[in-house]
Amino acid sequence: MKILETKTITIFDAISNIEKGKYVIPIFQRDYVWDAHQIENLWDSLLKGFPINNFLFWSLDQNNTTKDMLFCQFLKSLTFNSQKQADNIQYDPQTIDISISNIAVLDGQQRLTSLYSSLLGSFGIRQKGQRRSSCEQIDARLFIELNPEEIKSNEEDEDDANEYQIILSDKTSKIKSTWFEIKSILNPKFKNDKNKAIEQAIESVPNKWKESARSSLLKLYEIIFNEKLIAFTEIKDMNQDEAINAFIRLNTGGKKLSKSDITMSMLKIYWPDSETEFRCLLNDKLEGFSREFIIRTALMIYDDVTKSTINKITAIRLKDDWQKFCKALNETIELLMNKKIRISHFSKRWNVLIPIIYSIYHNLNTYKNFEDILIAYLYRAIFFGFFYSSTTNKLQKLKNEMNKINYQMSLNMLNEIRELKVTEERLKDLMNYKKGDKITNEILYFLSLDWINSSNHFDIDHLHPFDRFTRWPPIGVELEKWNDWKKKANSLPNLSYLIKSFNRGPKGNKSLREWVDDLNETEKLEYLKQAFIPNVDLDITNFEEFYKQRSQILIDKIKILLK
């Protein structure tokens, strides 16, 4: 990506470039949203000599565009409702001739559209009660008041004073003699003899205000034709993904757009029903998931998962293949349910599911032959924090590896990926995770699937109460050893799931031995099994042996999950 130095051109140069089709709008840009008041203020600011914020242009060429990339031409006519709020007019996406249209506007669309419509385009205002589809809008025109007395009498808010009294009016049958239509400054007579044309324009202005009116029109002429007020930075060698990222960074006003917002806008061009289909799928099967999950999965299946957005080819493939895509998702949900895993568990960390969906999509009739490997991958990715960084690159890596073996997963494949390989050292490292760590929660959740249920709420409980380790050591335990136990007391081998009402009720800060002894025989057997309690003395003085044996029990159970 190469950023060129900032350049400047006149307003007339800019609107001429729009007229010739040189400037276009990327399809991921938002609609025109300014109201009439903002247009009036823009011109008032220009006449006052205030600078316009810098524009950002994206230089287009054969190296950073493709034939299927779409852009939009600038609106040539703006319509407003009776409160002068802009109608959200749909742009017409189209391919471009790069020899003509070679600049895409990343920042400045609202201002350039307003300037163009003021000078070369047109305005319309719908009357109250008229629908947007109505063709009965009234033409409106943009004027500047040349009589200072009229300006002064119309000022209501001194802090928001429209000093030059710029007016977008649909009452063209009642035009005041001292109103000058701004686009009239483009009349050839101003180019031929500017001074003569200005004198003709101010004939109706009272003599004592002619100098002021003359000054206003001279200023208007200068800011359009002579002053280089359009300052822009042009970026070359930038592809569409980079342009989208730049646009998102610039989009700080109003509702901030996400990549999925932009992608959906582009997707709807090729598949008008896409948003409805996405919403139905999310509401029906994937409550809590985002559109980004569907988009990223589609990129994994049909294109390059490291991309930011869906292109035309991918959008059409997703549209034509939607039933199969949904079937792969449904089969994934069923696979998880059969393993007692709720799909909702992944609503905020869904990247881990995408490789499973990808493999099932390509093996709808045979994936059950290796479904245990898919689940083993799931556990490995979660327990080893596989997606904590470089997410899309790792998805692409998995995709490449699966493609080598008919889109399937195997233990050999998993073991060849360093971050997913199971080693004794890595298993021991899992035991060092503390209460509050994400991976601690995940390990305990998946180890407890056989007995945990959605009707109860659970806490992560210290088996030997953590509070006990904040006091002096028990009789017979050396201080040095006690300090070592303190460091381990908040780690995974001393943690378990416990029903919240038990943890905050009868168990509380009871010692592990006391809690177990208080249970009846049936409850005791169930608890010892569910919490993976080793068959050792449960007194705190035996913590070292308890910790060692429970660590091994957990490691053995985790090994089974990880295959």
End of a domain among 421, 439, 462? 421
Q: Quick one: which of 53, 5, 6, 16 has its CA closest to 224?
A: 16
CB 394 within 8 Å of CB 373: no
CA atoms within 13 A on the CB side of 62: 1
pTM: 0.71
Alpha-helical runs (H) found in 102-192: 109-119, 148-154, 188-192
Please name the helix (run of DSSP H) or strand (run of DSSP E) that holds residue 295, with its range, or none: helix 291-302
In a domain, 442, yes or no: no
Count of structural domains within the chain: 3
Residues 6+ apart with CB under 8 A from 202: 146, 210, 213, 214, 217
Residues 102, 364: Cα–Cα separation, whole Å: 45
pLDDT computed for residue 41 by the predictor:
94
In a domain, 88, yes or no: yes
Q: Is the pLDDT of residue 254 over 60?
A: no
Same domain for 89 and 224: yes
In a domain, 551, yes or no: yes
- 3-state secondary structure (DSSP) of residue 254: coil
Same domain for 161 and 284: no
Mean pLDDT of 198-204: 91
111 against 6, higher pLDDT: 111
In a domain, 243, yes or no: no
CB 244 within 8 Å of CB 308: yes
Same domain for 288 and 179: no
Please name the amino acid found at residue 280. Answer: C
Q: Is the pLDDT of residue 37 over 80?
A: yes
233 against 502, higher pLDDT: 233
Q: Is the pLDDT of residue 370 over 90?
A: yes
CA dihedral (405, 406, 411, 416) positive or negative: positive
Mean pLDDT of 371-395: 94
Mean pLDDT of 22-27: 93
CB 144 within 8 Å of CB 182: yes
Range of the domain at 123: 2-232
In a domain, 240, yes or no: no
Same domain for 166 and 85: yes
CB 241 within 8 Å of CB 307: yes
The number of residues making up the chain comes to 563
Mean pLDDT of 266-271: 82
Q: Is the pLDDT of residue 270 over 70?
A: yes
Mean pLDDT of 49-60: 90
In a domain, 430, yes or no: no
Same domain for 58 and 165: yes
pLDDT computed for residue 135 by the predictor:
52
Q: What is the pLDDT of residues 304-342, one digit of tens each?
A: 999 878 888 899 999 999 999 999 999 999 999 999 999
Residues 474, 220: Cα–Cα separation, whole Å: 89
Mean pLDDT of 47-58: 90
Q: What is the pLDDT of residues 298-309, one digit of tens each?
A: 999 999 999 878
pLDDT computed for residue 156 by the predictor:
46
User: pLDDT-based confidence at 387, cuts 50/70/90?
Assistant: very high
Residues 6+ apart with CB under 8 A from 33: 86, 88, 110, 254
Q: Which two tokens stand for residue 552?
A: 């091994």
End of a domain among 377, 405, 421? 421
Same domain for 343 and 218: no
Q: Quick one: which of 440, 327, 438, 463 has its CA closest to 388?
A: 438
Residues 83, 257: Cα–Cα separation, whole Å: 26
Mean pLDDT of 92-103: 91
User: pLDDT-based confidence at 2, cuts 50/70/90?
Assistant: confident
In a domain, 248, yes or no: no
Same domain for 338 and 294: yes
Mean pLDDT estimate for the chain: 89
Q: Is the pLDDT of residue 451 over 90?
A: no
pLDDT computed for residue 154 by the predictor:
47
Percent of the chain with pLDDT over 90: 63
Q: What is the pLDDT of residues 139-178, one digit of tens each?
A: 899 999 988 776 554 444 444 456 788 999 887 667 788 8
Give the residues across from 80 on adjacent strands.
Answer: 86, 125
Residues 6+ apart with CB under 8 A from 333: 285, 343
Please name the amino acid found at residue 554. Answer: L
In a domain, 134, yes or no: yes
End of a domain among 402, 421, 440? 421
What is the 3-class SS of 339-362, one letter each residue? CCCCHHHHCCCHHHHHHHHHHHHH
> b/e string for 394-432 if b means 16 or more Cβ within 10 A?
bbbebbebbeeeebbbeeebbeebebbebeeeebeebbe
Same domain for 528 and 475: yes
Same domain for 502 and 354: no
pLDDT computed for residue 147 by the predictor:
82
Judging by DSSP bridges, how do beta strands 23-26 and 93-94 pair with one another? Answer: unpaired
Same domain for 402 and 320: yes
pLDDT computed for residue 27 by the predictor:
85
Give the residues across from 52 on adjacent strands.
Answer: none
Residues 6+ apart with CB under 8 A from 133: none
Same domain for 373 and 289: yes
Q: What is the pLDDT of residues 517-544, one digit of tens each?
A: 989 999 899 999 999 999 999 999 999 9
Same domain for 318 and 188: no
